Amino acid sequence: MFWRVVQSFGASSGMAVGCGAISDVYKSEERGTAMGIFFAASLFGPAIAPLCGGVATHYFSWRYGQWGLFVLGLLVLIPVYFWLPETLDPAKLRRWGATEESKKPIFLNPFKSLGLLRSPNMVVVALVGTTAMVTNFVLMIPLAYTIGKQYNITNEAIIGAFFLPSGLGNMVGASLAGRLSDRVVVAWRKRRGPDVWVPEDRLRACLWGAGLFVPMSVLLSGLTTQFVPGTLGIVLNLVWLFMNSIGINIVLTPSQSYYIDIWHSRSAETTAASGTFRGVIIASVTACILPLINAIGVAATGAIFAGVAWIGFGLTFFTIKYGDRMRASVDVGYSTARDS
């Protein structure tokens, strides 16, 4: 458990810093597309990891999976070390002609970004993402004990292959959602006029995912697993897993772009704060998933979390309508139309 914490500590930096770099490079009406491509590329690993781990576990040893991760980690470390030099290194700062002020030691408070959670916009939109993302954990975490048990699948490699539709849905959904959110921003800017900036317009791209794809996929998966036997049940579950991941990314990708729109100068911190918020809640809920399924069944569990996802859909509507008042209620240094 300790080493899992260490691993996550290191892996989490990629998303936060990556989102920050994208916000620096792309303007608002292009940011969603860039964010979608970044998420799609980042999610290629989760798309194939369960299958690779299942094959390694079933045919060789689970340790081969760990060795594989170790090698991949080195392959990432080497180009980062040689091609992305640390800009805070004193020797390099002096060589590049940095000012005396920039050479002073910098002390970072790792919890400072959590101060953004004082914003109701951050909390509510993070809740929307949490209600969507938790449905994926409801489907994927107990997969061996739901789909695997129902359809008598014990081969770890085959169980791992069930994650492929979810991974593919992540890649397709992220790319689709990014472009969709940019088009929504451009369309509403034309409708309102070029001088009127309403960042909540981007959240309109979340509605299909939050209101249809996410809740219906978890609901239908629970019903299918409990009541539809044989090959048809397996095929339908693969469809629902694909649908769920598309929906989640239709929610998360515009949401993350929205954070950057309203906190452009603190884009990496917004990713860290929202990710922390989601992670704490989802980690707590994950511990309850299997006991809940054992107590009330997979169909009822799916129905409960479909209801949770629909609450997120309602929160999305709320933020679109009242987002400007929410931002006005607590000033945490929001961006303006000029500097976003």
User: Is there a domain that residue 49 lies in?
Assistant: no
Query: Which pLDDT does position 86 carry in this prediction?
Result: 59
Mean pLDDT to the nearest integer, 48-59: 75
Non-local CB neighbours of 15 within 8 Å, separated by 6+ positions:
42, 271, 275
Region of 334 (left: φ > 0; alpha: ψ -120 to 50; beta: rest) is beta
The answer on pLDDT for 6 being more than 90 is no
Q: What percent of the chain has pLDDT over 70?
A: 91
DSSP 10-55: HHHHHHHHHHHHHHHHS-HHHHHHHHHHHHHHHTHHHHHHHHHHHH
pLDDT tens string 251-310: 988 888 888 888 877 878 888 888 888 888 988 888 889 899 999 999 999 999 999 999
- Which residue stretches of the chain are H helix? 2-25, 28-42, 44-55, 62-83, 90-95, 120-140, 143-150, 156-161, 164-192, 207-208, 214-227, 230-262, 267-296, 298-329
Q: What does the alpha-carbon distance between residue 313 and residue 309 come to, in Å, rounded to a whole number? A: 6
Q: What does the alpha-carbon distance between residue 32 and residue 43 come to, in Å, rounded to a whole number? A: 16
Non-local CB neighbours of 337 within 8 Å, separated by 6+ positions:
195, 197
User: Is there a domain that residue 189 lies in?
Assistant: yes
Nearest of 253, 240, 247 to residue 309 by alpha carbon: 247
Report the CATH number that the domain containing residue 282 is assigned in CATH. Answer: 1.20.1250.20
User: Is there a domain that residue 109 lies in?
Assistant: no
More confident residue, 221 or 270: 221
Nearest of 138, 167, 146 to residue 233 by alpha carbon: 146
User: Is there a domain that residue 270 lies in?
Assistant: yes
Number of domains comprising the chain: 1
- Give the structural domain span for 265: 7-42+117-327
DSSP 8-state symbol, 162 = T
Side chain identity, residue 328: A
Query: Which pLDDT does position 253 carry in this prediction?
Result: 87
**81-85, 155-159, 177-181, 308-312, range with greatest mean pLDDT:** 308-312
Q: What does the alpha-carbon distance between residue 319 and residue 127 come to, in Å, rounded to a whole number? A: 11
User: Is there a domain that residue 93 lies in?
Assistant: no
Query: Which pLDDT does position 320 carry in this prediction?
Result: 93
Non-local CB neighbours of 197 within 8 Å, separated by 6+ positions:
189, 336, 337, 340
Query: Which pLDDT does position 310 carry in this prediction?
Result: 96
Query: Which pLDDT does position 102 carry in this prediction?
Result: 52
pLDDT tens string 7-47: 888 887 777 787 777 777 777 777 778 877 887 777 777 77
pTM of the model: 0.81
pLDDT, mean over the chain: 83
Query: Which pLDDT does position 46 carry in this prediction?
Result: 72
More confident residue, 237 or 85: 237
